[in-house]
Chain A
């Protein structure tokens, strides 16, 4: 006798969208979250007069009202379309390499081409050709993923899709500043252009150019809370401050879960929004299937992040922030930046999100909430003994401020609140190995052509949804949860 039709482990983006989709389709669903608020990454916290957005830098895929294939359709199907207030960013980003490049890309193809021509004269046709390729490869990849037969797909996808992004940038451009300016979204994916499949970079750039970058009033927490609300309104049950300690199986089939208070909850289907190593590590009464074990052994725990969440007692304009998103890199050597993430050497590149250029409501009037982020692997902290942790944390934080002084000189004088998060903080709040924020390292060995965890979990009744079973980031994980839930429901229907 089942207690529930399905149990969802983890109320991150994919866990929430899976739970809401299941419950709204009539499956009695229990959502279990170890923390006291929903969201996983998609959350916020308060300090003094400020609320701090933890993770959402730019929400991709929202699109303008009425635009087809946008995330708005997903939000409608989750029952939250009318509960979210989207705040549009009009620029993709400002990209600055001190003394070398300082360019602000509008979130509009034609205007972006104009801007780049002004900053890098003589490149107009190359930029146009590159952006055409970005569009084509993205549209073709989506068609291929949806099962379009190969002969109907323009082979340009096969020539360019898996090439390192760096090769494709080199093929189009000579100016290192221009290459770096067009490729900088690589930091949202965690792998430098030399290791990142072009189809992944193209998809990201396309998603922001075509569907614009957005924020949410009330932050990503407003979205998480709204999805949870929709789940509860449909009759779903949630347990906060509760961790799953084991996934129960019988005869190789999922039976339910054990909670950290020892209670066992029975359900024929378990959707895990936890990381793959933890999910499979929690399987009780069965060995991890060999196919899974072999697959996971060749995947690499992904990059984490180091963040300063700041409340600043000055306006964005006073501080020097002209765009919601600013990338400041010390040079155009992306491999060098990526290499620095393995140690505590001073930060070489910082992504600044300024949440009051287009306000999301987190700072009082006249003040600004910003986050400074550099990516970093958790093992950079392996050599730091716990007794030295706080000193090392603040010392490293200073190096991010040093970088940001290049766009916001005097930022330190305006600090009213600041809290620092290291990869160990990420591990605490996400429960992921290495505090990884995008799942496995998304190099060319990842992606749907080489990994199939989401479709084939190899344990009947187990379902995987989130960045570890697919692409990381908000849009991909929100979509993954709903997709996995719909697939699960179709299977339930067909069994019946």
Chain B
């Protein structure tokens, strides 16, 4: 048939005369993907920095000393340890890619943060994800005048954002309102004060032993209109900060919250069914195994308790990597879950913020 078409000899001649493409596309594609988004990073703890009595910074490097993937200040890596993973914000500068600093604070009952502080030492190997997350300055709409409300170790991403401004010479106004329990709990104090001293566009206010009330925010930060407000800290800070900002008339869309983990008390959410006991155990069947787990424990943690490791990163309902299909039974999917519109119809949920209400069959 082809010979009947006009133009065929020209096209055949073009094919004939093309320089052959001899690239190794398999290797080159893998290289480009790994440059930015490696599935895993094998890192070494180069140094453990004592920040405060309860806080350590783990400086991670590649074994070969090569640069790590670029990240946006505010992003996190998932750290795999002790049969589970945690998203930890990078506190170092995005201008310095020879290392990532992860700043971890001891918290009462914080299994993984305490485990890291107690066991991780210089020379140890750590496996992480690549950098991820949407909690970062976005120049397309955040503007160049921003406010950051931090509580405790929630200052880690703010530190990275400030280092970004300094190292890249950005013309951005950054006002950090940093709440700490007491003076000795303040992380990065010297560096923060030193940076702010010579730079009128970077302001640091410490709020010690007190809440970041609407009045405090207004008095320290001034009018918020048009400014982006970032919030990162302990879980309780989020609803509280939103309330204070709302009281000040600040638009919800000008507030960015860092992902803050699965709700510890899902039974307090309005759509938790009445009279269902979160402590009572149900039977979860997944990956060819069945086990008992309390209703109030997120499915992802329950699976990990029993040696099943779905892919996971944010553990806060956002990234969807831990998405699973509920084949039988009913779950409570927390408000935090950012499900796709089609998920509910076909029975999918995000296991990090989903709780088994009945006996369950899951497809991983």
Q: Convert A397-412 into 0s and 1s, putting 1 for each residue whose CB lies closer than 8 angstroms to a CB of B.
A: 1100100000000001
Residues of B within 8 A of A432 (CB): 29
Q: Do A386 and B67 have beta carbons less than 8 Å apart?
A: yes
How many A residues touch B, CB cutoff 8 Å? 70
A281 and B21 in contact, given A36-B323, A51-B341, A389-B36 (Cβ under 8 angstroms): no
- Residues of B within 8 Å of A44, CB to CB, are 340-341
Answer yes or no: A69 CB below 8 A from chain B CBs.
no
- Minimum C-beta distance from B21 to chain A (A): 5
**A158 and B25 contacting across the interface, CB-CB below 8 Å:** no
A390 to B318, CA, bound (A): 22
Kindly state the separation between the CA atoms of A155 and B23 in the bound complex, as whole angstroms: 40
Nearest chain A CB to B136's CB is how many angstroms away?
A: 9
Tell whether, in the assembled complex, residue B341 and residue A386 are in contact, meaning their CB atoms are under 8 Å apart: no
Q: Which residue of B4, B11, B311, B341 has the most chain A CB atoms within 10 A of its CB atom?
A: B341
A217 — which chain B residues lie within 8 A by C-beta?
Answer: 341
Q: Are A150 and B338 in contact (CB under 8 A)?
A: no
The CA-CA distance from A296 to B18 in the complex, in Å, is 11
Q: How far is the CA of A144 from the CA of B1 in the complex (A)?
A: 8
Binary A-proximity of B1-33 (CB < 8 A = 1, otherwise 0): 110111110011011101011111110110011
Shortest beta-carbon distance from B104 to chain A in Å: 25
Cβ-based interface call for B72 (8 A)? yes
Q: Which residues of A from 383 to 422 have beta carbons under 8 Å from B?
A: 386-387, 389-391, 394, 397-398, 401, 412, 415-416, 418-420
Contact between chains at B141 and A433 (CB < 8 Å)? no
B339 at the interface (CB under 8 A from A): yes
Residue B138, interface by CB 8 Å:
yes
B342 within 8 A of A: yes
Write the nearest CB–CB distance from B314 to chain A, whole angstroms.
Answer: 12
The complex places the Cα of A415 from the Cα of B323 at a distance, in Å, of: 28
Give the residue name and chain of the B residue nearest to A361 (CB): B341
Among the 9-residue stretches A121-129, A219-227, A455-463, the one with 4 or more Cβ atoms under 8 Å from chain B is A219-227
Task: With both chains docked as a complex, state the minimum distance between the C-beta of B33 and any C-beta of chain A, in angstroms.
Answer: 5
Q: Is A275 an interface residue (CB 8 A)?
A: yes
Assess whether A281 is in contact with B134, with CB atoms less than 8 Å apart.
Answer: no
Task: Please name all residues of chain B whose beta carbon is closer than 8 Å to the beta carbon of A300 when the two chains form the complex.
Answer: 18, 21
If A51-B341, A158-B6, A412-B140 touch, does A444 touch B11 (CB 8 Å cutoff)?
Answer: yes
B7 touches A444 (CB 8 A): yes
B residues 156-199 with Cβ under 8 Å of A? 168
Instruction: Please classify how large the interface on chain B is, using the bins under 10, 10 to 19, 20 to 34, 35 or more.
Output: 35 or more
Question: Known contacts being A281-B24, A418-B138, A419-B134, is A449 close to B70, with CB within 8 Å?
Answer: no
Interface residue B95 (Cβ < 8 Å from any Cβ of A): yes
- With A45-B320, A51-B341, A431-B29 given, is the CB distance from A424 to B4 under 8 Å? no
Q: Which residues of A contact B32 (CB under 8 A)?
A: 378, 424, 427
What A residues does B321 contact at CB under 8 A?
Answer: 36, 241
Contacts of A394 in B (CB 8 A): 138-140
Chain A positions within 8 Å of B50 at CB level: none
B342 touches A225 (CB 8 A): yes
Q: Is the CB of A51 within 8 A of B26?
A: no
Distance of A215 Cα from B127 Cα, bound (Å): 41
B97 CB within 8 Å of chain A: yes
- Docked complex Cα distance between A262 and B79 (Å): 23
Distance, CA A321 to CA B6, complexed state (A): 42
Q: B86 contacts which chain A residues (CB < 8 A)? A: none
Cα A418 to Cα B140 in complex, Å, equals 8
- Across the interface, which residues of B come within 8 angstroms of A415, CB to CB? 140-141
User: Quick check: A222 and B341 within 8 Å, CB to CB?
Assistant: yes
Contact A298 B4 (CB under 8 A): no
User: Is the CB–CB distance between B8 and A162 below 8 Å?
Assistant: yes
B2 / chain A contacts, CB cutoff of 8 Å: 449-450
B35 at the A interface (CB under 8 A): yes
**Interface residue? A161 (CB, 8 A):** yes
Q: Are the C-beta atoms of A218 and B341 separated by less than 8 Å?
A: yes
A438 within 8 A of B: no
Residue of A nearest to B338 (CB): A46
A423: nearest residue on chain B (CB-CB)? B32
The interface residues of chain A lying within 8 Å CB-to-CB of B339 are 46
Bound-state Cα–Cα, A88 to B70, Å: 42
> Chain B: which residue is nearest A430 at the CB level?
B29
CB distance from A263 to the nearest CB of B (A): 15
Structural contact, A222 and B20, CB atoms closer than 8 A = no
Complex: how many Å from CA A275 to CA B138?
Answer: 33
Supposing A44-B340, A161-B5, A313-B253 touch, asked if A301 and B21 sit within 8 A by C-beta, the answer is: yes
Closest to B136 in A: A390
Determine the distance from Cα of A387 to Cα of B139 in the docked complex, in whole angstroms: 17
The chain B residue sitting closest to A229, CB to CB, is: B346
Cα A378 to Cα B25 in complex, Å, equals 13
* Distance in angstroms between the alpha carbons of A241 and B364 in the assembled complex: 10
Q: Is there an interface contact between B340 and A301, defined as CB atoms closer than 8 Å? A: no
Contact B134 A297 (CB under 8 A): no
Q: Could you say which of A44, A161, A217, A433 has the most chain B C-beta atoms within 10 Å of its C-beta?
A: A433
Residue B37 interfacial (CB < 8 Å): yes
Contact of A226 among B7, B8, B29, B346 (CB under 8 A): B346
Q: Which residue of A lies closest to B339 (CB)?
A: A46
| A residues near B310, Cβ cutoff 8 Å | 241
Is A487 among interface residues, defined by CB-CB distance under 8 A? Answer: no
Q: Interface centre among A36, A163, A397, by most B CB within 10 Å?
A: A36
CA distance A228 to B342 in the complex (A): 12
Shortest C-beta distance, B219 to chain A (Å), equals 28
- Cβ–Cβ contact A390 & B5, under 8 A: no
Most central of B2, B253, B311, B340 by chain A CB within 10 Å: B340
How far is B29's CA from A299's CA once the two chains are assembled, in angstroms? 17
Are A428's CB and B33's CB within 8 A? Answer: yes
Contacts of B341 in A (CB 8 A): 44, 51, 217-219, 221-222, 361-362
Judge whether A387 and B7 touch: CB under 8 Å.
no
Contact code string B69-80 (vs A, CB < 8 Å = 1, else 0): 110100000000
Which chain B residues numbered 295 to 332 have a C-beta less than 8 Å away from chain A? Answer: 310-311, 318, 320-323
Nearest-CB residue, chain B, relative to A367: B253
Residues of A with C-beta under 8 A to B7: 162-163, 444
Chain B residues with Cβ under 8 A from A391's Cβ? 168
Q: A183 at the A/B interface (Cβ < 8 Å)? A: no
Quick one: given A221-B340, A428-B36, are A296 and B21 in contact (CB under 8 Å)?
yes
Q: Which of A240, A275, A282 has the most CB of B within 10 A?
A: A240
Residues of A within 8 A of B343 (CB): 225
Q: Which of A37, A161, A433 contacts B320 (CB 8 A)?
A: A37
B18 touches A298 (CB 8 A): yes
A48–B336 Cα distance when bound, in Å, is: 10
Are A386 and B70 interface neighbours, CB within 8 A?
yes
Contacts of A281 in B (CB 8 A): 24-26
Known A-B contacts A427-B32, A428-B36; A301 and B139 likewise in contact (beta carbons under 8 Å)? no
A389: chain B residues at CB < 8 Å are 36, 70
Known A-B contacts: A418-B140, A445-B14. Give 16 more (CB < 8 A): A36-B321, A48-B253, A158-B5, A218-B342, A218-B345, A225-B345, A282-B26, A361-B341, A386-B35, A387-B97, A389-B70, A415-B141, A416-B253, A418-B141, A427-B33, A433-B25
Could you list 18 A-B pairs, sorted by A, with CB under 8 Å?
Answer: A37-B340, A46-B339, A48-B253, A150-B1, A150-B4, A161-B5, A219-B341, A222-B341, A225-B343, A278-B26, A297-B18, A298-B20, A299-B21, A386-B70, A418-B138, A418-B141, A424-B32, A432-B29
